[in-house]
Structure formats: structure tokens, C-alpha cells
Amino acid sequence: MRTFFLWLFFYGYFFTSFLSAGVLEIGDRDSYWVQPYCEYTAVEHMSDTPKELFNSNSIWVKDKKNLKLNDHNRAFWMRLKVKNQDDIEKSLFLISKRNYVYSIEYYLLNKNKVLISQVSSKERLNRKNRENSDYNGLHITFPLILKSGEEMEILFKVQSFNSGAISFNIITREHMTKFYQDYSFFKGIYFGIML
């Protein structure tokens, strides 16, 4: 009987190790797709903060389609863990298109679950704030600064009309500048042709 429970324990541990999303290790690349490293859980109340989230018994899943969302608010939490593997500080951005997203709240927490910074997309969508920001395109951008060897947890509280997952990329400042230069160039060509 004891060996049965021992095998059950090892099987359960081995099986559940594949269910967790893992940590995205940031190195020398300019761009990282974060989707394989994300986990999701439903939002119980729209006023919830990360503190209430960690005090609840939320079940995290790797696929957003497995969530049982509240039909009233259609909101979910998205969690991502990142770690800087380089010897230098990294100045990065999380970027995503605004397709079918009503609101996003961004929370950056350290390894001990202490809140470092918080930004709401409603603040960033405000015209006055958008005109004064570094990047005011049609994409949602959030800052991410990682010191050497630092591990952070990123939480998003997302209210979305889309049933699919929201795709984020983590990119460097240089990559973002080139991205917006190309984006503006092709947007100009498009409107030039339309005129």
C-alpha cells in the first residue's frame, strides 16, 4: 500500500510539473513571445487586486479556453513569470494590439509577491496621457525593467470581448523603436495610396 502511494505521489508530481507554465528567461534576443509561459484564472470581482487573488483559492490553467468566466464581466487574470539571465539591466516593453480588449490592468510584482508598479490601460487610453507617452500607437505597451538576475511576476487583469487569448510580446527599446518606425512607414504608404 505504501508503494502505491509513493508511485501515486511521483506520478502526480511528474504530471503536474508539465502543467505549470514555467519562467520566461530573458537573454540576448530582441523579442520574446510570452504565450507559452502564461497561465489564466477567472476574476471573481472586478475590484480584486493581486492581494485578493493570492488570498483566494484560484486555479491557474495554461489554456484560457478552459476557464469558466463570469458572464457578467468576462474578465480573467493572466500571469507571467520572467527572469533576466544577463549580467546587465534590461529595459523592456510588453506590447500587444488593442483588439477586442475593454481594459487591462498591469501589475508588476517581485519574487516575494510585493507590488512594484501598477498601470491601468484606461489611464493609458486617456488622450492626454497617450500624447505624452513615449509610444502612442495602436498597441498596448507596458514598461518592464529587470535588473541582472532578477525574477518578476507580471499579472494582467483583462476584460475582453474576445474568447481567445491575448498575445503579448516582450521586446527591447531598440526593437520597439524599429517596430514603430516600420509601422508608421507602412501606415503612411497605405494612406498615401488611399488618397
Q: Which residue range forms the structural domain that includes residue 104?
A: 20-194
Is residue 27 over pLDDT 50? yes
User: Is 36 part of a structural domain of the chain?
Assistant: yes
Q: How many CA atoms lie within 13 A of 84 on its CB side?
A: 19
User: Is 151 part of a structural domain of the chain?
Assistant: yes
pLDDT (0 to 100) of residue 193: 94
User: Is 117 part of a structural domain of the chain?
Assistant: yes
Q: Which helix (H) or strand (E) holds 151?
A: strand 151-160
| pTM, full prediction | 0.73
Q: How many CA atoms lie within 13 A of 116 on its CB side?
A: 16
* CATH classification of the domain holding 120: 2.60.120
User: Is 111 part of a structural domain of the chain?
Assistant: yes
Task: Please name the amino acid found at residue 182.
Answer: D
What is the count of structural domains for the chain? 1
Task: Please name the amino acid found at residue 72.
Answer: H
β-partners of residue 1 are none
User: Is 14 part of a structural domain of the chain?
Assistant: no
- Own/partner pairs for 184-189, CB < 8 Å, 24+ apart? 184/137
Torsion sign over Cα 118, 105, 123, 181: positive
User: What is the rounded CA–CA span in Å between residue 94 and residue 169?
Assistant: 6
User: Is 163 part of a structural domain of the chain?
Assistant: yes
Three-state secondary structure call for residue 171: strand
The string of pLDDT tens digits covering residues 142-159 is 889 999 999 999 999 988
User: Is 78 part of a structural domain of the chain?
Assistant: yes
Is residue 6 over pLDDT 60? no
High-pLDDT (> 90) share of the chain, % = 29
Check residues 28 and 126 and name the one with the higher pLDDT.
Answer: 28
The string of pLDDT tens digits covering residues 52-100 is 888 888 889 888 877 777 666 678 899 999 999 999 999 999 988 766 6
User: Is 141 part of a structural domain of the chain?
Assistant: yes
Distance of CA 39 to the CA centre of its chain: 9
